[in-house]
Amino acid sequence: MSSRIAYTKPSITELEIRYATDAATKGWGDHCYDYIHRFEATFKEHLGVMYAMATSSCTGALHMGMAALGIGPGDEVILADTNWIATASPIVHLGATPIFVDILPDTWCLDPAQVEAAVTPRTKAIVAVHLYGNLCDMDRLLDIGARHGIPVIEDAAEAIGSVYRGQHAGSMGTFGAFSFHGTKTLTTGEGGMFVTNDSALFERVLTLSNHGRARGQTKQFWPDMVGYKYKMSNIQAAIGCGQMERIDELINRKRAILRTYKQRFQGVSAIQMNPESEHAVNGAWMPTLVFSPNSGITREKMQAAFARENVDARVFFWPLSSIPMFQPVPANIHAWSIPGRAINLPSYHDICAEDIDRVVKVVEGLLP
């Protein structure tokens, strides 16, 4: 059998290894935050925001940001039904209720019309998830938020490199959150980043992130509130510093892989892939195929075909309202329909032309 093609894995070079080794060797005592501060500084410069805080995960960044906004019991937070549960779990942990609305059929992101219809006096936030690098309609979502006095949160876990009307994903909302999981375009193994331009919000999150100890508190080991522990380690941040020095290379490679797949499937009317409008740049984290409803090609057929060829393709996110923890919302027709005829394609940075060809041939073998 041919060697296995992974759907994703990180791009790690001698640069990241050297920085991580230096952090493990020397990054202790007075130097235990050196790489963290450097990583935060380079990331906020890249993104064009005022504040950035490295975290242990994107989920942790979302949790602290939502807590700092005062989201809690009795509140509602609107988000797309098509998401990984990490976007919804902080809402539940805070005692609030996630309100799942449908996605647009072309971007697979939050439908602004459905958001508007779901707003109630209890709505405390809107979470815009830039799915697979595809971008939400931020103009409309920010307008809805402004008119109703509701903060718009950007879950940009999958959208490093995505740009909307000249602004980086994650930099437009009240706050943004990023993931550096080992599957992502930029990785620290595990990890995330909280970003914002709101100084007061940043200070609240900074306090929460340090077990509730406020900056400037003179009493040692004196918490000012009950906080969290979502810190990134100095060694992880060292890897991130190396990745940031290669950020353009990493993003451009992902975009090139998506472009290759789109070229190979050009003209196949039954296939839709990650879109890119004239006012947006898709960071192309995860090239995704969605087949038309009348194609007869299902998720299960694709999984079986890829498995036979030793290719690790990943399923599209299930609708969150379809899993046991939540009430079903089958009226979200696109969120419930698309996953049954969609698949994520292998797209790690070092994938070679021959392996892309193997992936394409599996898909071609499914076509009539």
User: Nearest CA to 91 among 72, 106, 109, 108?
Assistant: 72
Identify the pLDDT of residue 291.
97
Q: What are phi and psi of 94, to 5 degrees?
A: -85, 0
Q: Centre a 10 Å sphere on the Cβ of residue 283 and count the other Cβ atoms it contains.
A: 29
34-45 pLDDT tens trace: 999 999 999 999
Q: How far apart are CA 201 and CA 178, in angstroms?
A: 17
Q: Are 118 and 141 within 8 A, CB to CB? A: no
Please name each of the domains of the chain with its CATH number: 14-245 (3.40.640.10), 248-366 (3.90.1150.10)
Identify the pLDDT of residue 303.
97
Asked whether residue 1 carries a pLDDT value surpassing 80, the answer given is: no
Q: Is 368 exposed, middle or buried (0-12, 13-18, 19+ CB in 10 A)?
A: exposed
Which amino acid, one-letter code, is at 221?
F
Identify the pLDDT of residue 2.
83
Distance from the first to the final alpha carbon of the chain: 26
Q: Which string of b and e fits 356-367 if b means at least 16 CB within 10 Å? A: bebbeebbeebe
321-367 pLDDT tens trace: 999 999 999 999 999 999 999 999 999 999 999 999 999 999 999 99
Q: How far apart are CA 212 and CA 227, in angstroms?
A: 4
Q: Are 194 and 55 within 8 A, CB to CB? A: yes
Identify the pLDDT of residue 92.
98
Q: What is the mean pLDDT of residues 6-27?
A: 97
Q: How far apart are CA 361 and CA 355, in angstroms?
A: 10
- H helices of the chain, where? 14-26, 34-47, 58-68, 85-93, 112-118, 138-148, 199-209, 234-245, 247-264, 299-308, 333-337, 353-366
Identify the pLDDT of residue 368.
84
The encoded tokens of residue 335 equal 């969120």
The encoded tokens of residue 13 equal 């070079």
22-32 pLDDT tens trace: 999 999 999 99
Whole-model pTM: value is: 0.96
Reduced to 3 states (helix: H, G, I; strand: E, B; else coil), residue 76 is strand
Q: Are 1 and 307 within 8 A, CB to CB? A: no
Assign 134 a pLDDT band (cuts: 50, 70, 90). very high
194-253 pLDDT tens trace: 999 999 999 999 999 999 999 988 899 999 999 999 999 999 999 999 999 999 999 999
How much of the chain exceeds pLDDT 90, in percent? 96
